[in-house]
Amino acid sequence: MEKLARKCILKIKPYVPGKPIEEVERELGIKEAIKLASNENPFSPPAGVLKAIKAYLPRLNRYPDDHGYYLINALAKKFGVKRENLILGCGSDEIMELITKAFLEPGEEVLFGDQSFVMYRIITQIMGGNPVAVPLKNYTYDLPAMAKAVTDRTKIIFIANPNNPTGTIVKDKEARDFFRDVRKDVIIVFDEAYAEYVEDKEYPRSLEIIRENRNCIMLRTFSKICSLAGLRIGYGIASPGLIACLGRVRLPFNTSSISQIAALASLKEKKWASEIKRINSQGKKYLYGELEKMGLDYIPTQANFILIKLGDKAAKAAESLLRNGIIVRSGLIGDCIRVTIGTQAENRKFVKVLGAILKK
């Protein structure tokens, strides 16, 4: 069947998600496995969101609002932009794909960090583009090196900020210097899936850059701090011209009614989101302390996950954790495992089991 496929897709290594809890429990014959592999919010959506979903259920016989009128209006108000500056997607991943569909010609280059979100490479290859992975510096996007890597074939640059899987950020001055150094006809995408967790005051102000009429697109999602990963909804903010181009390649009804309703309700849960951020920060500090007690190095994070250095023990440690019902990610960076910051009980169980594994 490969003879029938487009040649460019034969090079693609399919995305491998973290194992679902149910699959691990079936395979191991256990109960109460915990998933710390996919950077999800460990808490259920707030009551107000669940109530809004339940109230809408009798109307599922109707197609969704194709343009997400009420959600777009709420986001426009939240960020101080116009409706024309916004687009909704089935997760921010879909908007990334729309960007390559709308702007990338075969053979043109897409730049991204070499240890970053794997989908940048995949969506580039799908469109027949040339993926260019620029090495990170100290586990962080090296923007000066990326600026030097730009050629006359460069069309799009993806910057994961915070970066997945390292949790590091580029700061506002670095971002502004980067925009100054890069050609204005290159589209720069800030993938800010974990922005709501950031505590660093020097985090870039992407909206200001967009308002300066640069070819910049900011991506965000409801999957992380809003606890809506299962509903797949995200959004992009950019100039009306860029958004209009994305709209040309967007499939109709790409976000479901339930996802729109839930996302809209979640925007009203500001106190709840602040509490989630506080709990994440508390869990992060706890894990830092416990890892230091075990003599383990880690990368300080601005997100809801931590990259832990385990050397040549990383893969085996991940396997052993899995056998103990704890799902983490390995293989993203050779000598590390990535662990989502969970509930306090989940964090304690992870620390206890990891400590026992490393003592063997």
Percent of the chain with pLDDT over 70: 100
- Arithmetic mean of pLDDT, 100-120: 97
Q: What is the pLDDT of residues 40-72, one digit of tens each?
A: 999 999 999 999 999 999 999 999 999 999 999
Q: What is the pLDDT of residues 257-296, one digit of tens each?
A: 999 999 999 999 999 999 999 999 999 999 999 999 999 9
User: Which is higher by pLDDT, 321 or 15?
Assistant: 321
- Arithmetic mean of pLDDT, 112-130: 97
Task: Give all domains of the chain, ordered by start, each with its CATH number.
Answer: 17-44+270-359 (3.90.1150.10), 47-266 (3.40.640.10)
Picking from 226, 218, 278, the residue whose alpha carbon sits closest to that of residue 95 is 218
Provide the terminal-to-terminal Cα distance of the chain, rounded to the nearest Å: 47
Residue 249 region, left (φ>0) first, then alpha (ψ -120 to 50), else beta? alpha
Alpha helices by DSSP H, listed for the chain, are: 21-28, 47-56, 69-79, 91-103, 119-126, 143-149, 172-181, 206-211, 240-249, 257-266, 270-293, 314-323, 344-359
Ranking 35-44, 204-213, 260-269 by mean pLDDT, the lowest is: 204-213
Six token digits for residue 107? 């053979």
| Total length of the chain | 360
Whether 213 has a pLDDT exceeding 80, the answer reads no
Q: How confident is the model at residue 302 (pLDDT cuts 50, 70, 90)?
A: very high
- C-alpha 161/C-alpha 143 separation (Å) is 12
189 DSSP β-pair partners: 158, 217
